[in-house]
Structure 1
């Protein structure tokens, strides 16, 4: 449908149900899957409620709580203070499971260059992305920021 009619079509899949009384819940889950998918899985056209992961939790948080979380995480500086190259570096670092050597290879930079960039991020944010707890906090903060920017309409 996307290529023939130049319209973006999204399909949400709720959990499988055994009886008619649970059908409404599954339908609601399918709607949520579409909305959460629009924020966190923009490349996917078919989104399953069961595969939404942490995005499903973030989607259910009040925006005021999300804003407070971002202020707490980035008390040393804002997320906006990070340039595009730095954000791309962070994304690649996460995609390579916090592996410095593999990330530097994928970015075509020397390992020391990547370490320098990670240190720069630590100075700006107070988070050392080489530490798992800091990395997960940063990853969740990025997802929360994406959610706040998108401000989806909730069903």
Structure 2
């Protein structure tokens, strides 16, 4: 990376607020790319040429100014980036008076170049990761062998271990990704990436984790799975959990929705064939019967616990269950009938 005109002008703009002597920034060819004196732009600087040849500081006084073209008394210092000459910084004035400011300017420019290089590397790496993730999560066209090779040789990561995916749905995924990184980095994630303009996907290693909720963000957590196939599966589990029960500001775990997920994948035609008549009969019932069914199933078919939960007498509960059986043809106390009734209740809530 070398000193360019655009970068040099921005550096001059900022430094000139704090340094009250003329400043020139030259590229590796000795041409002035930025200066507090705009009349000197694009000129070749003899002191910079000397620095480029020797890669050592060049001190110009009234006594040797005639030895170099287009110079004034002052100090010219080399700017290095990763061991290579990236440019030259020059400050005009008595050398002993401007040397400290010149050193500070030299250091500021080198730090700026280092930071820009790191940002470019991070941006390039994130683009590689995003491209890799897009292909991994493609609905059908997935080449696991090629993705595994790319993970090892290009991304330089070990994907052959258990991964658990967390999906965050947000209207501002890039901002959210930056916000999440400090807390999720403690888990040593495989990646934390914005995905498809509406979500952030994080792949965390190891055992199941507890995820903290985020205000106004819908969060789904998949189950741990091995290698790339497990990572892909965990992602789909997390997104399905969001679709089934996602609520802004809460975390929903796929592992807690096994029954709901199973029911969600029932063939619609088969579901309609078996449940159609029963659904119609249930819809005709008073709301108290539906509330009774929900409580009865939530309390694992336990009569006393259900009666206490509904604040009714046990005999009242028995009467309601008898009526349910009469009106629908399904007795909630019979295991097979309970499965059909619970399936209808869950399916209608999905």
TM-score (norm 2): 0.35
Which structure has more strand as a fraction of its residues? Answer: 2
Higher helix share: 1
Q: Give 1:17 deviation, angstroms.
A: 4.4
Secondary structure at the aligned position of 1:130 is classed as: coil
* Paired residue total: 137
1:103 maps to what in 2?
306
Coordinate RMSD, CA, aligned: 2.6
Q: Pick from 295, 315, 321: which aligns with 1:92?
A: 295
Displacement of 1:116 in angstroms is 1.0
Contact 1:93–1:99 (CA<8 Å) still a contact in 2?
yes
Give CA deviations for 1:19-76 in whole Å, capped at 9, x if unaligned.
45653333222212211224xxx6982222333212112222343332223125x18x
**Residue 258 of structure 2, aligned match among 47, 53, 59:** 53
Deviations 1:97-146 (A, max 9, x none): 22222222222222211111111101111111122222222111211222
Looking at structure 1, the residues matched to 231 and 325 of structure 2 have their Cα atoms a distance apart, in angstroms, of: 48
Structure 1 CA distance, aligned partners of 2:330 and 2:249? 31
Matches of 2:285 and 2:275, distance apart in 1? 14
Where in structure 2 are there 5+ consecutive unaligned residues?
1-213
User: Over alpha carbons, which structure has the higher Rg?
Assistant: 2
Secondary structure of the 2:220 match is strand
The answer as to whether partners of 1:104 and 1:111 remain within 8 angstroms in 2 is yes
Under a length normalisation based on structure 1, what TM-score does the superposition of the two structures give?
0.72
Question: For the residues of structure 2 that align with 1:104 and 1:111, how far apart are their CA atoms?
Answer: 5
